[in-house]
A = this chain, B = another copy of it.
Amino acid sequence: MKKICFLFAMHAEAAPLIEKFDLKEEKGFFAPLPPVLYKGEHNGKEIFVVLNGQQNGLDLVGCEPATLTAQLVLSTIRPDLLINAGTCGAFKSKGSAIGDVYLSDKNICFHDRRVGDNGGWYEMGVGFYPCMDATEMADELGFKLGRCTTGSSLDMAAEDLAMITKNEGMLKDMEAAAIAWVAQLHNTPLLCIKSVTDLCDGGRATEEEFRENLSMAAQKLKEACFKVLDYLLK
């Protein structure tokens, strides 16, 4: 493994990693498109951090930016491993707490792509895209394992919750499945590292809880990224 590339949606989540490894921005690498590339070396390996970039001063979140960034990264940088690091919602009823760090487990799903129930359309919508087996890594590093389930909204429509329940989703995020689809097309392994900012069944408004815990969860995420990198490069 020579090249590892982290994908983040939000700059605040990526900043500690960029600082720690003294990564340098490769200005204009994806111009005129918004993604931003940082690059450096660690233990003889090339480390890349790519952000979706911004429009109108806001970080581009969600599945379309994630798709675009993943495609650009996989067709130019061609990393040996893609790591999607970010924050997520989770469920108290499934044993999650705010600040928990998870590695992705089992195939990654969409919960807001309902395009039919028959003839393979259900599976097409949900995706069930592969991610790398992180069982040993999670065990050694003390992280939990959970299935990522992705949608384009912070809120929880009844239809989305039904899909999450049916497919045993544990980590509700806004990018993982889109990245996993593109990674599958390029035959590149993917690992997700997700830090919990809010509980979908905790009785509070997601947006409020998310903003309140983002900074703490980003710290946990940073530490988790360092640990995972040390594990992979040992």
Contact = CB atoms under 8 A, between A and B. Distances in A.
B120 A58 contact: yes
B124 A58 contact: yes
A232 interface: no
B67 A153 contact: no
Copies in the complex: 2
A33 B75 CA distance: 10
Nearest to A56: B120
B113 A62 contact: yes
A68 B207 contact: no
A124 B207 CA distance: 15
Interface in A181-199: 181-182, 185-187
Interface of A: 32-34, 55-58, 60-64, 67-68, 71-72, 110, 112-117, 119-121, 123-125, 151-155, 157-160, 174, 178, 181-182, 185-187, 207
